[in-house]
Amino acid sequence: MRHRTSTSRDHPGSVLEIDTGRPTAVVEQDSIGAAGASTLITDLPYGPKAAEIARRAVEVALHGTETDLLDDARLITSELATNAFASGSPSLVLCVDRRGQPSGGLEVEITVTDGGCSHPAPSSPVPGDEAESGRGLVIVGALADAWSLTTSAHGTRAWCRLIRAAPPKAHI
């Protein structure tokens, strides 16, 4: 199965193709901060591979960022993609928006949408003590600086933002 993914912000035409789980990409950068600005949008398979493909796409979109940010983004994306597959309907779409800040920091927004679900969002994302699943949104809430979940019969949107300040400058 081949997935076509595009990345762009100010430089349209960058492309990421995921073929049998091997991503390759040209991620464009601009002059806003060291990390630049880019957007990656990809269809995810509606199946158990959704989380794996989403994690690999995030690795490409956030290539070169600090390890802690990349780890948090991969875990969040995995949880959001798993929830979309488990609770939603086709089609699944991942969007990763990366923006460098003039101060040198980095802001990342991750959005996973699906074709909707027939049941409303949980009033509390905290599962019972004996539950074997259902902790994904708790993890997202713990790691993200902001997040939201909007559900309807026509589409579900799970969104979060990660913000990292610029590293302190070394004084010599």
Sketch the domain layout of the chain as residue ranges: 2-164
Phi, psi dihedral angles at 116 (to 5 degrees): 110, 165
Structure tokens, 33: 């901060």
Among candidates 162, 137, 145, which has minimal Cα distance to 58? 162
The rounded Cα 44 to chain-centroid distance in angstroms is: 12
**What is the secondary structure of 17-66 as a DSSP string?**
EEETTEEEE-----SSTTT-EEEEEEEE-SSTTHHHHHHHHHHHHTTTS-
Question: Can you give the pLDDT of all 172 residues of the chain as single tens digits?
Answer: 344 444 444 433 333 343 434 343 334 444 334 447 899 999 999 999 999 999 999 999 999 999 999 999 999 999 999 999 998 899 999 999 999 988 889 999 999 999 987 666 555 555 555 645 556 788 898 999 999 999 888 899 999 999 998 877 766 6
The SS3 of residue 136 is helix
Q: What is the model's pLDDT at position 169?
A: 75
- Please, are residues 4 and 22 in contact by the beta-carbon 8 Å criterion? no
The SS3 of residue 129 is coil
Q: What is the model's pLDDT at position 16?
A: 39
- Measure the N-to-C terminal CA separation of the chain; round to a whole number of Å: 53
Question: How would CATH label the architecture of 2-164?
Answer: 2-Layer Sandwich (3.30)
Q: What is the model's pLDDT at position 127?
A: 54
pTM over 0.85? The answer is no
Structure tokens, 129: 């003590």
Q: How far apart are CA 40 and CA 19, in angstroms?
A: 16
Q: What is the model's pLDDT at position 135?
A: 66
